[in-house]
Amino acid sequence: MSGSNGYKTKQRDTILKYMTDHKDSHVTVNGISDYLTGQGTHVGTATIYRHLERLVEQGLVRKYTVDSSTGACFQYAEPDRECHEHFHLKCEKCGRLIHLECSRVKELASHIFSEHGFAVDPLRTVFYGICRECSESNASSDNDTRKENPDNE
Amino acid sequence: MSGSNGYKTKQRDTILKYMTDHKDSHVTVNGISDYLTGQGTHVGTATIYRHLERLVEQGLVRKYTVDSSTGACFQYAEPDRECHEHFHLKCEKCGRLIHLECSRVKELASHIFSEHGFAVDPLRTVFYGICRECSESNASSDNDTRKENPDNE
DNA sequence: TTGCGTGCAAAGGTTTTGCATGGCA
DNA sequence: TGCCATGCAAAACCTTTGCACGCAA
């Protein structure tokens, strides 16, 4: 347990600011790097990885792994309200990652815990299926949108 | 949606046998490859990937992604049981796969479809978390009950 | 014979690591 | 001044893809 969070550097502030500015969506290391480079505030990839890893350890950032062939997703976790738990829907057709902020899902997690003794981890749990757009366009023709980079809304 | 499962080859049988022999634990591509090579039945990595991908599409195998920096995990799913009817809980501690027969979960799937337009696929969706036994013994200090990592490090 | 399956290697992508340098405390 | 942080590149992985050849049907 190290009491210090490390030095306060410009890169640390830059990354943390980016995370808090995008706390409503999940981001990738590539996305962060590209954005910062575009802003003229280039930060090395290794530095981003190292900071993100530390932030995850500190509980300030959550790490999602949707697919093993794509990269990891990160999202800022507000330290105030830990109840900010939502689940993710992953469309197997277009690869989109949808945030599901729904009380019913949280109720189910509570039910599974109280009745079945299983503590569901929202961080790891992803619902796989077909999203509305894809299921509508699926009936007519085949859209062969392979699984690839998730968008960033 | 092709009705055929492809040719019946020696490699296909070998991989499928390995999966059914290890249906109580999840395995990695590397683990399969190493084991088969040790047995003198070498199968190319690409072939393993291609077969696993097909088996996942057929619903015979489930694919887990625990972490993006490690590889994907696969586990055989018995076709006998009506696994399309219920969901699965995967304990991240002991690796056990729990079949959850619960109407509340099905209700949730219906809710997500009707309200959010997303058709959840029960075959692919797995709830990650900690099972009752592991959370009870969690107070003590057994941390790594990994039974399926022969030579990781 | 036809066409899929296989193996090997190369490619493509993500994440980690080594090392010299720069910056915080 | 002493370390930690950073950047760059290389390394280490995981996974996919291309292509020639083999084998099932």
Q: Does B2 touch chain A (CB under 8 A)?
A: no
The alpha carbons of chain A give a radius of gyration, in whole angstroms, of 18
- Measured CA to CA, the distance from residue A64 to residue B61 in angstroms comes to 22
Residue with tokens 């990839």: A45
Average pLDDT across chain B, whole number: 80
CATH of domain B1-79: 1.10.10.10
> Do B132 and A111 make contact, defined as CB atoms within 8 angstroms?
no
pLDDT at A1 over 70: no
Q: What are the beta bridge partners of residue A95?
A: none
- Measured CA to CA, the distance from residue B72 to residue B141 in angstroms comes to 27
> Do A118 and B104 make contact, defined as CB atoms within 8 angstroms?
no
Which residues in chain B have Cβ-Cβ distances shorter than 8 Å to A124?
Answer: 66, 92, 128-129
Better-predicted residue by pLDDT, B15 or A1: B15
Q: How confident is the model at residue B126 (pLDDT cuts 50, 70, 90)?
A: confident
**Which among B65, B98, B118 has the least Cβ separation from residue A129?**
B118
> Do A71 and B68 make contact, defined as CB atoms within 8 angstroms?
yes
Overall average pLDDT of the B8-27 stretch: 93
Q: Does A127 touch chain B (CB under 8 A)?
A: yes
pLDDT at B15 over 80: yes
Query: End-to-end CA distance of chain B, in Å?
Result: 40
Q: Does B125 touch chain A (CB under 8 A)?
A: yes
> Do B117 and A131 make contact, defined as CB atoms within 8 angstroms?
yes
pTM: 0.75
For the CA atoms of A23, A81, A64, A117, the dihedral, rounded to the nearest 10 degrees, stands at -160
Q: Does A135 touch chain B (CB under 8 A)?
A: yes
A130: nearest CA in chain B? Answer: B119
Residue length of chain A: 153
Average pLDDT across chain A, whole number: 80
Tokens of residue B28, six digits: 């990695």
CA distance to partner chain B, nearest, from residue A128 (Å): 5
Q: Does B56 touch chain A (CB under 8 A)?
A: no
Dump pLDDT digits (tens) for A54-92.
998 888 898 888 788 888 989 888 765 544 467 888 877
Q: Is the CB of A44 under 7 A from strand D?
A: yes
Domain range list for chain A: 1-79, 84-153
Nucleotide nearest to B70 (CA to C1'): D14
pLDDT at B149 over 70: no
pLDDT at A141 over 80: no
Which CATH number fits the domain B84-153, given the four candidates 3.30.43.10, 3.20.20.70, 3.50.40.10, 3.30.1490.190? 3.30.1490.190
Q: How confident is the model at residue A101 (pLDDT cuts 50, 70, 90)?
A: confident
